[in-house]
Amino acid sequence: MDDKPFENMNMIPFIDIMLVLLTIVLTTSSFIASGKIPVNLPQASSSVPDKEKHKAIEIDAQGQIYLEGKALTPEALKAEIAPLDKQTAFVLRADKEVRLQRFVDVADVLKQLGFAKVAVQTEMGSAP
């Protein structure tokens, strides 16, 4: 028998396997990153009702902020919710005519204080 020493190795199959694994990792990581912050438009075609107890923050068409029916400024809202447990769930209800900046101001207050359970309530509607 002719036993030749192992001189070289075919790397093509290994490269193919690594490219497939890289593709899988990149694909799944993009789904994980984009699913972190759910964004609901003012009208959604489907929604799942939340059974958990929550505090409601509402913004009317004029931009007035209400916490559980009590009118507040953004600074007063921050003072009212600061002592609450960080696991408190909030539902943000904004009129579709409200300026985006007012909505962002309220969301920013919630983020600054470390509240992670925030949902945006939408109306059931048809998809565009």
- CB burial string 32-60: b at 16+ within 10 A, e below: eeeeeeeeeeeeeeeeeeeeeebeebbbe
State residue 30's pLDDT score. 60
Task: For 33-61, write each residue's pLDDT tens digit.
Answer: 444 433 334 554 555 555 557 788 888 88
Q: How many residues does the chain have?
A: 128
**Could you read off the pLDDT of 81-111 as tens digits, one per residue?**
888 888 888 888 888 777 888 888 888 888 8
Choose between 6 and 70: higher pLDDT: 70
CATH fold for domain 1-128: Nucleotidyltransferase; domain 5 (3.30.420)
**CA–CA distance, 72 with 106 (Å, rounded to integer):** 11
**Residue boundaries of the structural domains of the chain:** 1-128
Q: Who has greater pLDDT, 105 or 120?
A: 105
